Amino acid sequence: MNLTTKYLGLTLENPLVVGASPFCDNTAVARQLQDAGASAIVMRSLFEEQIDAEQRALVYHVETSAESNAEATSYFPTFTEYQLTPDHYLRQIEHLKKSLTIPVIASLNGCRPGGWTDYAQRFQSAGADAIELNLYQLVSDPAVAGDQIEADMLETVGSVVRAVTIPVAVKLSPFHTSPANFVAELENVGAKGVVVFNRFYQPDFNIEDLEVQPQLRLSDSTELLLRLRWLAILAPSVRGSLAASGGAHTTEDIVKALLAGAHAVQLVSVLLRHGPRILSTLLVGLKDWLTERGYENIDQLRGALDLRHCPDPAAFERANYIRILQSWRV
Ligand SMILES: Cc1cc2nc3c(=O)[nH]c(=O)nc-3n(C[C@H](O)[C@H](O)[C@H](O)COP(=O)(O)O)c2cc1C
């Protein structure tokens, strides 16, 4: 059974990619993931705010000749809260590249154009095989219109793309008004793929203490449905690669993401819950599923349920929506 897939121009042995997460902070754990069958890994993100803070700290220290170790100072208390400093991050790319044979994808996280995008070039010099740019942003200012946000994002993506020769993927939010149009614009500025989607961590309310409670809940398979819809809509028009991220937990989930048009399926929650060895179980499950149905490779399956053959996807969706609501009787 041939599970090979092309993602961002990289040839991967299978579609199972470890999504951006803390796993790659530890090279030994990254090795376990590779040994269990991961075909590529995405490192946790280095954040725009973190890079900006370091650059400000450097200027401060040059001007004042204070301590040389910016992270150790108390001027930027949040600095130490990050798991990897920018320097540490670059060294970790080098360590991972020395220890692994699978591609290492470094992750930048930010959305406003600025000097922080220079880090893309440093990622490449440290050996990263590709960059995933996470455009996570929660816009709460009523004075800022959606098209301004998207223009800034496109400028940011363009500057990252221009800084490197390795492929750049963009991890998207599901909340764009017209995702298919925005993805086309991303490809026009040089993105080689999109990751569908970012997962927003939604705080809850504690109604006894009247406090907001930030929380991180791992996903379950229900979250895949939003990804399936948009992968199926995007697949016919996207020129580059598509990765699913969010809610892939079982062999069936992986098959569904491939049917919707994904070239790669990123996994995080399932690995945090069950550990690296679940990867080999999922891979065996995928091979069995394909073999039992007579497939020889995953290209034969990919996109079979995308909306290529649907002349008007918007009307199709709207009709299904109306039919579902009308089907309930009390
Ligand atoms: C503990 C944890 C850390 C994460 N860190 C990052 C990160 O640094 N950058 C990023 O783009 N996504 C990050 N994510 C999001 C995941 O890459 C992924 O998009 C999300 O968890 C949905 O996939 P899943 O359903 O397989 O968990 C993180 C997720 C978790 C649970």
CATH label of the domain that carries residue 302: 3.20.20.70
Ligand 1 and 50: CB distance under 6 A: no
Three-state SS at 46? strand
How far apart (Å, rounded) are the C-alpha atoms in residues 255 and 248?
Answer: 10
Domain hosting 255: range is 5-326
In b/e form, how buried is each residue of 191-220, taking b as 16+ CB within 10 angstroms? bbbbbbbbbeeeeeeeeeeeeeeeeeeebe
Ligand 1: residue whose CA is nearest its atom 15: 20
> What separation, in Å, do the N-terminal and C-terminal C-alpha atoms of the chain show?
49
Residue 75 has pLDDT above 50, yes or no: no
Ligand 1: residue whose CA is nearest its atom 10: 20
Beta-carbon contacts of residue 98 (< 8 Å; ≥ 6 apart):
none
> Ligand 1, closest atom to CA 22?
3
pTM of the model: 0.92
Q: Report CA(73)–ligand 1 centroid distance (Å).
A: 29
Ligand 1 and 227: CB distance under 6 A: no
Percent of the chain with pLDDT over 90: 76
> Ligand 1, closest atom to CA 171?
11
The whole-chain average pLDDT of the chain stands at: 91
Residue 65 has pLDDT above 60, yes or no: no
Q: Give CA separation, 290 vs 90, 110, 115, 280, in Å.
A: 39, 38, 47, 15
Report the number of distinct structural domains present in the chain.
1
Q: CB count, 10 Å around CB of 128?
A: 24
Residue 74 has pLDDT above 60, yes or no: no
Ligand 1 and 269: CB distance under 6 A: yes
Residue 85 has pLDDT above 90, yes or no: no
Mean pLDDT of 245-253: 98
Q: Report CA(9)–ligand 1 centroid distance (Å).
A: 23
Mean pLDDT of 60-66: 47
Q: Report CA(218)–ligand 1 centroid distance (Å).
A: 9
Ligand 1: residue whose CA is nearest its atom 23: 246
Query: Please, which pLDDT band fits residue 61 given cuts at 50, 70 and 90?
Result: low
Question: Ligand 1 test: best mutation among 43, 47, 109, 199, most atoms within 8 Å of CB?
Answer: 199
Question: Ligand 1 test: best mutation among 16, 18, 21, 107, most atoms within 8 Å of CB?
Answer: 21
The whole-number pLDDT of residue 192 equals: 98
Mean pLDDT of 16-21: 98
* pLDDT, tens only, 123-147: 999 999 999 999 988 888 999 999 9
Percent of the chain with pLDDT over 70: 93
Mean pLDDT of 227-256: 97
Mean pLDDT of 188-210: 93
Q: Report CA(280)–ligand 1 centroid distance (Å).
A: 21
Ligand 1: residue whose CA is nearest its atom 28: 21
Q: Give CA separation, 34 vs 24, 279, 286, 289, in Å.
A: 11, 9, 17, 22
Q: Decide which of 51 and 186 is more confident.
A: 186
Residue 110 has pLDDT above 70, yes or no: yes
Mean pLDDT of 104-122: 91
Provide DSSP, 180-224: HHHHHHHHHTT--EEEE-------EEETTTTEEE-------GGGH
Ligand 1 and 268: CB distance under 6 A: yes
Residue 63 has pLDDT above 60, yes or no: no
The whole-number pLDDT of residue 181 equals: 97
